[in-house]
Amino acid sequence: MAKYNLPKIDLHLHLDGSILPETAWELVQAQGIEVPASDLESFIPLIMVPEDCKDVNECLERFEIPVQILQDKASLQRVTKELIGWLVKEGVAYAEIRFAPQLHTRKGLTQKDAIDAVLDGRNDGLKENPEIGIGIILCAMSIGPETVNMEENLETVRLTKEYLGKGVVALDLAGAEGIVPLSNFAPIFDLAREMEIPFTCHAGDSQGPETVEDAMNFGTKRAGHGHHIYEDPELCQRAIREGVTFEICPTSNVCCQSTGGYGEHYVKKMFDLGMRVTINTDNMTLFDITLDKEYDHCINDMGFTKDDIIQMLVYAAEATFQSEVNKKALVERILAFKNNF
């Protein structure tokens, strides 16, 4: 039973970081993947960020086992369906689940195969849980210099266009920050704009506000993380003027050492400044986090009030990659809880 009786929204949720641990352990055994674990209890730490995690890039290493697991259509379909069921139990009304199709081609799947499998899982999940809304975001990846996988990234852009309206709602760029300037990935977003594809972009998490500026220059109206924008007051004002929404993931930022702690996180200052910030989980299994736990941190450790949570949910609803009609309906559902939360 969810703690906070609200129509919750998760705009920033990675599929591979949110596999049910029991399912991950079962699939590891079924697929013969060798791991240094003998049972579920010893396995779980292998798919969670360690307490002494040094930075975001060390955090990214924890995705290796989940990615190994998800190299066939049946596994992709299953974990997507199960994640939707988990979200419903957590009281989530709408979520956008993101994944990178190019990471699931090691054993012969094409990007298109991977997308089809996730969409099949989405359809299965929605049949069993028609009360939730689910959009799928396809991630291009930063895995090194932009030239390393530009062909694969541009293929992801084209597939995003092909599947828009069929369960896919937008494009993203995820992966490691700071290897090369984010601006080097401009061709991805040039093509996305040309094809009129909605998009978000990871920026300003482990790196500074200049990466958020690059993302905004691409034309994004949503930024994944982005909290380091607060270090540039002029850029904050530009974000306010342009209505940019920030997909803030507090526990992820704390665990990956991109902020000093919940109390030191910039998100409340950004909110007080009038910026459109939202609260999200990033990776539910990787960080052992749910939206209820995030809201607890917001209220107990970060200075937010319950009314602030409502307002951030309104920002989230307005920023979803849905039709205006669906956005409005979701806002109305949230505001109905304003005096009963």
Question: What CATH code is carried by the domain that includes residue 219?
Answer: 3.20.20.140
Mean pLDDT of 5-34: 97
In a domain, 267, yes or no: yes
Cα separation, 332 vs 65, in Å, equals 40
Residues contacting 286, CB < 8 A, separation 6+: 14, 17, 18, 47, 48, 49, 59, 62, 63, 252
Question: Radius of gyration (Cα) for the chain, nearest Å?
Answer: 19
Q: Is the pLDDT of residue 1 over 70?
A: no
In a domain, 2, yes or no: no
Pair 205, 227: CB distance under 8 Å: yes
Q: Which candidate, 7, 5, 99, places its Cα nearest to that of 331?
A: 7
In a domain, 163, yes or no: yes
Q: In the structure, what pLDDT confidence band is assigned to residue 72 with cuts at 50, 70 and 90? A: very high
Dihedral (C-alpha) 30, 32, 34, 39: value to the nearest 10 degrees?
30
Q: What is the mean pLDDT of the chain?
A: 96
Domain of 324, in residue numbers: 8-334
Cα separation, 220 vs 214, in Å, equals 9
Q: Is the pLDDT of residue 163 over 70?
A: yes
Cα separation, 330 vs 314, in Å, equals 8
Percentage of residues of the chain with pLDDT beyond 90: 91
In a domain, 237, yes or no: yes
pLDDT, position 136: 99
> How many separate domains does the chain show?
1
Q: Which candidate, 18, 3, 95, 15, places its Cα nearest to that of 284?
A: 18
In a domain, 251, yes or no: yes
Which residues of the chain form beta strands (DSSP E)?
8-14, 92-99, 133-142, 168-175, 201-203, 222-225, 245-248, 276-279
User: Is 52 buried (19+), middle (13-18) or exposed (0-12) by CB count in 10 A?
Assistant: exposed
In a domain, 1, yes or no: no
**Lowest mean pLDDT across 7-16, 45-54, 110-119, 328-337:** 45-54
Q: What are 277's strand-pairing partners?
A: 246
pLDDT, position 69: 96
In a domain, 73, yes or no: yes
pLDDT, position 334: 97
**Lowest mean pLDDT across 183-187, 263-267, 337-341:** 337-341
Mean pLDDT of 105-123: 98
Q: Is the pLDDT of residue 60 over 90?
A: no
Q: In the structure, what pLDDT confidence band is assigned to residue 338 with cuts at 50, 70 and 90? A: confident
Q: Report if pTM > 0.85.
A: yes
Dihedral (C-alpha) 9, 99, 244, 91: value to the nearest 10 degrees?
0
Mean pLDDT of 268-279: 98
Q: In the structure, what pLDDT confidence band is assigned to residue 175 with cuts at 50, 70 and 90? A: very high
In a domain, 341, yes or no: no
